[in-house]
Chain A
Amino acid sequence: MTIPLNGAARCGHHALVTAISMPLAMPAMGGEASADSQLVARLREGDRAAVEEAYLAHHAAIRGFARRLVGDAAAAEDIVHEAFVALPRAIRRFRGDGSLRAFLIGVAANHSRRHVRSAMRRRRATERLAAHEDLQPRTVDATDQLITKQLAGKLWAALDDLPIDQRVVFVLCEAEQRTSVEVAEIVGAPEGTVRTRLYHAKRKLREKLEEMP
């Protein structure tokens, strides 16, 4: 099963179906679900090797989500680490009706609150330092990277003013292009709540970005 990429099925309204906007995390396939259930059974038994297996299988998706959420590599690594350390205890809440990866993203989102704040402080400090640096990219690629970095930096700065729940929903819906069903499963909230959070998040972001120079 794949996620339909039409706008109605996704929780966002602005995503374009382009090569870059392909879903970044696919739902579990049949074989993967079977492997998941075996892994989950071992995790429930407290098997330490199972935690490492889960890490090797899902760390990239969790790290990607964490980075998009906090905009800071160090904070994102902390979130990944905490999510997997908490997994043996958190797995008791896993009902098995979704994928392990989605569940892990939910665990990471739960552990992201304080890291979002620390990343925000670090970003503001870095912005002040960067204002005094001579940033003259020498190549096109470097210029492109710089622009991407600047745009992302502006969005993260605007996201810093959102409540964590709206921030998580925005990242999952818009940056990761997940369906509202998936996002509802990850954040443990009804679909309607997810849509409401996304609506408010977008509205606030637009207002905030318009105020920015």
Chain B
Amino acid sequence: MNFDAMIDAIRAEDGNDAELAAATHLRLRRSLETRARSRHQLAGLVTAIAILLVGTVSWALATGKVTTLWGPAPRLHSVAPEAVPRSAPARKQVAAASRPPLPPESVTPPAAEPPPAEPPPAEPPAAEPPAVVPPAVEPAAVEPTPPAAPPSPARVAPVLPPAAPEPPASLAQVEELYRRAHELHFHGGEPAVTLAAWDAYLAAEPNGRFSVEARYNRALLLIRLERYAAARAALAPFARGEVEPAGYRQTEAEQLVERLARYE
């Protein structure tokens, strides 16, 4: 068999086929157009997602929700107010600097409803325990309900403190209490029910891992329930920086306390 003849036979193949060249040219053009279109669609999608993300973050920063949701995690142990040093300037400044400055209008907590034009009836301050004390001590029923106003849905479900100190709960039980309260708080739970859930958690673990966070969230719920005096009392230790970690939500708490004072 002639090897060179075979090579010549292959060599005779050429690429000069006008019809096929035109067909492939058209096919190539379509492929390039499709690719360009896909790239534009992808770019548009990415731009839309970026705009949505920036808008959401801006809104969250402006309304203060980002600090509520992404605030620094509390320490494992909550220290009693007297054990906390009165001033921890460096840590406070760092904590304050890490948060974006909020305008006065933005200090309203995310869950809080607009304050009523008429301040609610003042609550006797003596009836409110210090906020850092486990909330089981705070009797919700002590707060007088305005007799003229119809009972709001939040007040329909009374927040009853535990009748007696509960025995120490197991870790799993405590975690379950926290998980439930957290779920209710951040996923549309009824304020009164959520408050009860936080109270239950704090009763089970008054100085636990998430107690500081729980107390702060509980204070916000008090605002939602229009129990401003109780909320102010609960927020006072935070405003003074008397919780551990020092400076935890201090700026927000200061602003909230200041605003709540107007409604008492």
Contacts and interface: CB of A to CB of B under 8 A. Distances in A.
The answer to whether A and B assemble together is yes
A149 B32 contact: no
Interface string A101-122: 0000000000000000000000
Contact of B10 (A16, A61, A77, A175): A175
Where chain A touches its partner, the secondary structure class is: helix
B7 A155 contact: yes
A52 B25 contact: yes
A61 B15 CA distance: 6
A80 B10 contact: no
Contacts of B13: 64, 67-68, 71, 152
Nearest to A83: B28
- Interface size range on B against A: 20 to 34
A60 B6 contact: no
B170 interface: no
A60 B29 contact: no
B83 interface: no
A20 B11 CA distance: 8
A206 B8 contact: no
Contacts, number: 106
B77 interface: no
A179 B35 CA distance: 36
Interface string A166-179: 00000100111100
B11 A85 contact: no
B60 to A, nearest CB: 37
Interface string A131-162: 00000000000000000110110111000000
Interface string B188-229: 000000000000000000000000000000000000000000
Where chain B touches its partner, the secondary structure class is: helix
A195 interface: no
B220 to A, nearest CB: 53
Contact of B21 (A59, A171, A177, A209): A59
Contacts of B32: 48, 51-52, 85
Interface in B6-20: 6-17, 20
Given A63-B17, A81-B24, A154 B1 contact: yes
A177 B10 CA distance: 12
Interface of B: 1-17, 20-21, 23-25, 27-29, 31-33, 35-36
7 contacts: A21-B11, A66-B15, A68-B13, A85-B31, A85-B35, A151-B9, A174-B7
